[in-house]
Amino acid sequence: MRRSPRHPRFGLVLGGGGVRCLAHIGVAEVLEEAGLRPEAIATSSTGSLVGLLLAAGIPPRRIREALYRRDQRLAWLRPSWRAGGLFSPLALLRLMDRFSLPERLEELEIPLHVVVTDLVEGRQRVLSTGPCREAVLASAALPGIYPPVRVDGHLCGDGGVVNNVPADLCRQLVGPGGVVLTSSLEMNASMPAELLRHVPQVVYRSIYLPLIQQRLRNQALHSDLVLQPFSDQPLCFSRWREIVRFYSIGAMADLHARGRHHMGLRLPELQALLARADALADEEPGAGQRLERRQEEDL
């Protein structure tokens, strides 16, 4: 059965994690070199910035080159005079303005679904239509770092607060017979006991561990393949500064290399999954429909 446009075959999830989103660019480069193009993208937090550019058809190499520019790196450090954030969203706007992007999400080459947090109602909102810039500015508005954004009358902030790795959303987009590749920027939930010597460390982990566990469960349940380039790094308070190191070429190059490395290692698995999805989609209609009904019942 040929998959309808409502159920694309291949969906890509780009999770949040500050500057670690450079790993997404490395992942995208490997996909591009292998001739693999996602048919739907679900994003959250800073993953939405990369997701927007990829969905607009911007080559990953050009995104990386733009991020490495000196004026772009300095723009991340500009302070904000608006309530709700320490830094100005100028850098986000400048990066988007470097490319000829559509004005609206529904005009993108690849359907993009952006998770934001409704700060007033305390719930998730998913944006797939409307202005591109507003959606990304809201989704990437890291709490305390960038000010929240009003979208359709709702005050919205970092999508990572409610759903940092929206694999569940991507599964809805591709259906039970599609393939969900998740690029997760989550860190290792465990850490050496000797690092738990200070009060901020204990408080930080006590607050964030439930969130991390929920994110890991969500990505494992709804993904066919999960990339975790930072699973070797412990979740600890001392690393919080790293999420805003967009000004460091060395840091960004390392993050990009991690994404390339992990996608390269798992590329044969992804190709096998996509080949199997193609084979199932080519089955005679009755068998394909029965298979999808069985998979839906299992979820």
Q: Which residues are catalytic?
A: 45, 158
Pair 24, 183: CB distance under 8 Å: yes
Q: How wide is the angle at C-alpha 12 spanned by C-alphas 270 and 162, nearest 5°?
A: 130
Task: Give the type of residue at 113.
Answer: H
User: Locate tokens 């959606």: which residue?
Assistant: 135
Longest dimension (CA), the chain: 62
Task: Give the type of residue at 11.
Answer: G
Pair 43, 51: CB distance under 8 Å: yes
Phi and psi at residue 155, in whole multiples of 5°? -80, 115
Give the DSSP letter string of 56-78: TT--HHHHHHHHHSHHHHHHTT-
